[in-house]
Structure 1
Amino acid sequence: MTSTLDDATTDQSPKGRKPMFEGQRTLTSRIAVYIFILGPFAALVAAVPLAWGWGLSWVDIALSVFFFYFSGLGVTVGYHRLFTHGSFKAKRPLKILLAVMGSMAVQSPPTTWVADHRRHHAFSDREGDPHSPWLFGTSPAALARGFWHAHMGWIFDNDVTNKERFAPDLMADKDIIRVSKLFPWLTVATFVLPAVLGGLISWSWWGALTAFFWAGLVRVAILHHVTWSTNSICHMIGERPFASRDKAANFWPLAILSFGESWHNLHHADPTCARHGVQRGQIDTSARLIWIFEKFGWVSDVRWPTEARLAKLSVK
């Protein structure tokens, strides 16, 4: 797969250009957004007090970690580095698997996620960016409003990014379209599968319930906020060793939980690069997984960073 970021998202001559939005969300989709965003968040808020004496077993922890990595890497490796930026090419079975894994993070179908993210890169930190924290000014009140908007407020906007403009390659990919259509069922699966496994392992309904809560609701909520923190925190504070045309920064405390996505400065300086954490000590588990796939021959044409490229991009 080749990246269509340049020809599909750059804001060039308006003549003949497709509109930015393809319409607005339906009432049903708006209700679904509130349910699947606020529902897991409510579970996260309840998690700490409920953990004391309510039920948290090693089975719940193991299932939570497994599904966190399974769905999270589906977003970072699949949705982001493969589908959005074309950082590598994947064989068809792996491509489909990554699309399924990403869908189970409950962050929208791959076509929608990619269209939104390519629009973010096309208009990063300026008008048109769906989730920049800098759209309302630089005063404390404006930045507080911007942080909320960048973190999760933008999700409740009703305008739908035009997928034909920003993701025409995915709209022409029959496999991705099929997975996108299966998104409601994959959303159900991401909550039901932990419950089923928890019930079977513990051989109890209580085990199914606690697995549903911890490995389903709480895991999805934590993954949501880790992903959204890349939009908000990583465009506000952190180090900027590489030159980019926006305020994308590296925020090391999120590196492990975000699978390397919080090394955000290099990513915006060189979006198609398969590795984001390129300096000494910068752990990037997404890049490591791509490296493993490459060793097995499941991916090809990986766009690894080079010393010459990094030197050119360095602010020094």
Structure 2
Amino acid sequence: MTIQAGQAPPRAAEDARTAEDARTATTLSATRGGERQGALERATLGLFIALPFAALLAAVPLAWGRGLSWLDAGLAVGMYFLTCHGITVGYHRYFTHGAFKANRPLRLALAVAGSMAVEGPLVRWVADHRKHHRYSDKDGDPHSPWRYGENLPALLKGLWWAHTGWLFDEEQTPQLTYAPDLVRDPAIRAVSRLFWLWTLLSLALPPLVGGLATWSWQGALSAFFWGSLVRVALLHHVTWSINSICHAVGSRPFRSRDRSGNVWWLAVLSCGESWHNLHHADPTSARHGVLRGQVDSSARVIRWFERAGWARDVRWPGAERIAARRAA
């Protein structure tokens, strides 16, 4: 048989087809393996997210009438949203990102309200968060869930790190480097140093009100459990979920340099912070929930401050600004 120039010998052609088939099979196998691993990761993430909240939701009806009253519930909800907005409006949108300017009384009130969330002194919190934005989901980020890699064991380890583990890290963000404006403000430094006092106030207010309202030690203890301990624990886990869950899952309608996502079912409890993709696409925006139907109570509170004349130069995102940050 004559072999023309440029034509592979039959044996060579057969070997090439065999090698190509092997590569195709390997690719399909890897794809199916990746799909199975992706499904396993999503299921594991679902359990990581859902179980703590399911346990909390189950505890409320079980305790109702046997240790949880309307007074306890009111104190827990009221203190929760007071201190949550202290973090979201005060610590985060105002002190960290300068989304608006505040008069002096509002500035100090936001500093105290944020401190009462018991998430750390103001200056340290701001320094950590500014560093997070500088290195978001890259080396140097204090709490990225992708710190250890992208396979399932690495992601689980990273979620734990981003959610809680980083809080126990010995490395401290240099405050003068990342928050020089706050370090140089004597009043803000004083509020930050008195974090222990605001913590005591935050924990003492519910039992004080509960004890006076019921005129009993039992009422004070019940209010302390729900209005202080449970409230602080829930707020902590919701806040930490922005670091962990919102950088692992969620929709990404806006362009950002990281993996920040919007997680709709955390929006109410996080006071609008879980619209996290827009925040990383436009960090100084006073509103994070910019699309139709996105609840953002923190933006509403800022609007109230603006109308009262306590806040000015608010960085509201206009239609053009939002469209410019849309993902292609």
Counterpart of 2:99? 87
Aligned partners of 2:60 and 2:68 also within 8 Å: no
Check if 1:205 corresponds to 2:247: no
Equivalent runs, 1:259-274 vs 2, <5 Å:
259-274=271-286
Equivalent runs, 1:305-316 vs 2, <5 Å:
305-316=317-328
SS of equivalent to 1:160: coil
Counterpart of 2:259? 247
Match of 1:224 among 236, 253, 262: 236
Aligned partners of 2:123 and 2:192 also within 8 Å: yes
Counterpart of 2:69? 57
Cα gap change, 1:256 to 1:49, in 2 (>3 Å): closer
Q: Deviations over 1:156-184 (max 9, x none)?
A: 11111100000000001112111111110
TM-score of the superposition, structure 1-length normalised?
0.84
Equivalent runs, 1:30-69 vs 2, <5 Å:
51=63, 54-69=66-81
- State the one-letter code of the partner of 1:306: G
Check if 1:118 corresponds to 2:126: no
Report the Cα distance in structure 2 between the residues aligned to 1:47 and 1:312, rounded to whole angstroms. Answer: 45
Counterpart of 2:311? 299
SS of equivalent to 1:87: coil
Aligned partners of 1:197 and 1:208 also within 8 Å: yes
Report the Cα distance in structure 2 between the residues aligned to 1:64 and 1:149, rounded to whole angstroms. Answer: 28
Unpaired stretches in structure 2, ≥5 consecutive residues: 1-54
Q: Deviations over 1:184-234 (max 9, x none)?
A: 011111111111000011111100000000000000000000000000110
SS of equivalent to 2:172: strand
Check if 1:171 corresponds to 2:183: yes
Q: Deviations over 1:60-95 (max 9, x none)?
A: 000001100111100000000000000000000011
Counterpart of 1:283? 295
- State the one-letter code of the partner of 2:250: G
Report the Cα distance in structure 1 between the residues aligned to 2:201 and 2:268, rounded to whole angstroms. Answer: 26
Aligned partners of 1:44 and 1:221 also within 8 Å: no
TM-score of the superposition, structure 2-length normalised?
0.81
Report the Cα distance in structure 1 between the residues aligned to 2:61 and 2:320, rounded to whole angstroms. Answer: 52
Match of 1:108 among 120, 124, 138: 120
Report the Cα distance in structure 2 between the residues aligned to 1:216 and 1:45, rounded to whole angstroms. Answer: 17
Report the Cα distance in structure 1 between the residues aligned to 2:99 and 2:309, rounded to whole angstroms. Answer: 15
Check if 1:132 corresponds to 2:153: no
SS of equivalent to 1:112: helix
Larger RCO (CA under 8 A, 6+ residues apart): 1
SS of equivalent to 1:63: helix
Report the Cα distance in structure 2 between the residues aligned to 1:44 and 1:118, rounded to whole angstroms. Answer: 31
- State the one-letter code of the partner of 2:99: S
Report the Cα distance in structure 1 between the residues aligned to 2:252 and 2:65, rounded to whole angstroms. Answer: 44
- State the one-letter code of the partner of 2:200: V
Query: How far has the Cα of 1:44 moved from its partner?
Result: 6.8
Percentage of pairs with the same residue: 60
Query: How far has the Cα of 1:307 moved from its partner?
Result: 1.1
Query: How far has the Cα of 1:309 moved from its partner?
Result: 1.1
Counterpart of 1:144? 156
Check if 1:238 corresponds to 2:250: yes
Report the Cα distance in structure 2 between the residues aligned to 1:310 and 1:52, rounded to whole angstroms. Answer: 44
SS of equivalent to 2:150: coil
Query: How far has the Cα of 1:50 moved from its partner?
Result: 7.2
Report the Cα distance in structure 2 between the residues aligned to 1:158 and 1:198, rounded to whole angstroms. Answer: 38
Unpaired stretches in structure 1, ≥5 consecutive residues: 1-42
Report the Cα distance in structure 2 between the residues aligned to 1:287 and 1:153, rounded to whole angstroms. Answer: 30
SS of equivalent to 1:161: coil
Runs of 4+ that moved beyond 6 A: 43-46
Bigger radius of gyration, 1 or 2? 2
Query: How far has the Cα of 1:54 moved from its partner?
Result: 3.9
Counterpart of 1:78? 90
